[in-house]
């Protein structure tokens, strides 16, 4: 900590802002590289270069590569979970799910690196996130499963296992970020193309919604 300035804690000084900016620059460069080459495939040299700082300086802000990686993961977890947090029982279920799909596809379009890094961590068994998964995430999913269960009991939704519905929502929306290379190879298009984005939103919404709608 900076002992020369007692006001550091309250009002951010010019210096502390510069420090914060450097931290975010490093985190951003790390996310870009980790998500493409993996943690082991990325050297601190490259991260430093991407953030325009020296490697030694980087290690001043983050004491080790693992510490940096954990910081990156913590940063993106919120973005990733935000759409699910937004699900609430007082909404109309089909509208809520329609909204969720659009939101999550926006995340896939606007934060593909976060999505991919998260996926990569999961593939490896989530050694650094296992705690969060079994704690916070499980609670969140249990909570939202109860919401879905409620909708089903009110006859507003077809009887499906809530967990599997949540997995389907996750899988179908993330796919466009995580497998964007494949999507592009096959369709020749990207979510960044507005027409393709809207077509994707509508198709995913329709298939999922029709699959869980109640019919008379």
Give the residue, chosen from 92, 143, 171, 192, that forms a contact with a second copy under the rule CB under 8 A: 171
Task: Please name the residue ranges forming H helices in the chain.
Answer: 14-37, 44-51, 55-61, 65-85, 93-110, 112-123, 130-132, 138-153, 162-178, 180-187, 194-212
The beta-carbon contacts of 81-90 under 8 Å, at least 24 apart in sequence, are 81/137, 81/140, 82/107, 83/107, 84/140, 84/141, 84/144, 84/166, 85/140, 87/144, 87/147, 88/147, 89/147, 89/150, 89/151
Considering the complex, state which of residue 21 and residue 160 has its C-beta at the smaller distance from DNA. Answer: 21
Number of C-beta neighbours around residue 190 at 10 A: 14
Question: For a second copy, how many residues bind (rule: CB under 8 A)?
Answer: 57
* Partner from DNA, a second copy, none contacting 26, C-beta within 5 to 8 A by type: none
Tokens (6 digits) for 131: 């705690």
Stretch that binds DNA, among 37-45, 114-122, 143-151, 160-168 (CB under 7 A): 37-45
CA pair distance 131, 192, nearest whole angstrom:
34
Residue 203, interface with a second copy (CB under 8 A)? yes
Site for a second copy in 125-164 (CB under 8 A): 125-126, 130, 133-134, 137-138, 141, 158, 160-161, 163-164
* Partner from a second copy, DNA, none contacting 147, C-beta within 5 to 8 A by type: none
Stretch that binds a second copy, among 3-11, 14-22, 53-61, 175-183 (CB under 8 A): 175-183
* Partner from DNA, a second copy, none contacting 63, C-beta within 5 to 8 A by type: DNA
Residue 182, interface with DNA (CB under 7 A)? no
61: which residues sit within 8 A by CB, 6+ positions away?
19, 22, 23, 26
Residue 98, interface with a second copy (CB under 8 A)? no
CA pair distance 174, 57, nearest whole angstrom:
35
CA pair distance 74, 85, nearest whole angstrom:
16
Considering the complex, state which of residue 3 and residue 181 has its C-beta at the smaller distance from DNA. Answer: 3
Q: List residues binding DNA (CB under 7 A).
A: 2, 15-16, 18-19, 22, 42-45, 53-57, 59-61, 63-66
Q: List residues binding a second copy (CB under 8 A).
A: 35-41, 116, 119-120, 122-126, 130, 133-134, 137-138, 141, 158, 160-161, 163-168, 170-172, 174-176, 178-179, 181-183, 185-187, 199-200, 203-204, 206-213, 215
């Amino acid at each position: 900590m900076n002992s020369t300035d007692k006001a550091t804690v309250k009002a951010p000084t010019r210096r502390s802002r510069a420090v914060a900016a450097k931290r975010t620059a490093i985190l951003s460069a790390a996310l870009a590289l980790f998500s493409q080459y993996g943690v082991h495939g990325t050297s601190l040299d490259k991260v430093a270069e991407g953030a325009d700082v020296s490697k030694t300086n980087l290690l001043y802000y983050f004491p080790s590569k693992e510490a940096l990686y954990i910081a990156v993961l913590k940063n993106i977890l919120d973005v990733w979970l935000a759409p699910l947090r937004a699900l609430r029982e007082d909404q109309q279920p089909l509208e809520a799910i329609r909204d969720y799909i659009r939101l999550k596809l926006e995340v896939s379009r606007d934060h593909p690196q976060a999505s991919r890094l998260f996926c990569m961590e999961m593939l490896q068994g989530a050694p650094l996130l296992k705690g969060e998964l079994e704690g916070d995430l499980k609670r969140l999913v249990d909570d939202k499963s109860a919401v879905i269960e409620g909708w089903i009991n009110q006859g507003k939704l077809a009887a499906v296992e809530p967990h599997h519905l949540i997995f389907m929502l996750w899988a179908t929306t993330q796919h466009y970020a995580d497998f964007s290379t494949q999507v592009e190879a096959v369709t020749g298009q990207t979510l960044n193309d507005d027409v393709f984005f809207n077509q994707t939103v509508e198709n995913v919404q329709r298939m999922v919604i029709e699959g869980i709608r109640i019919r008379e």
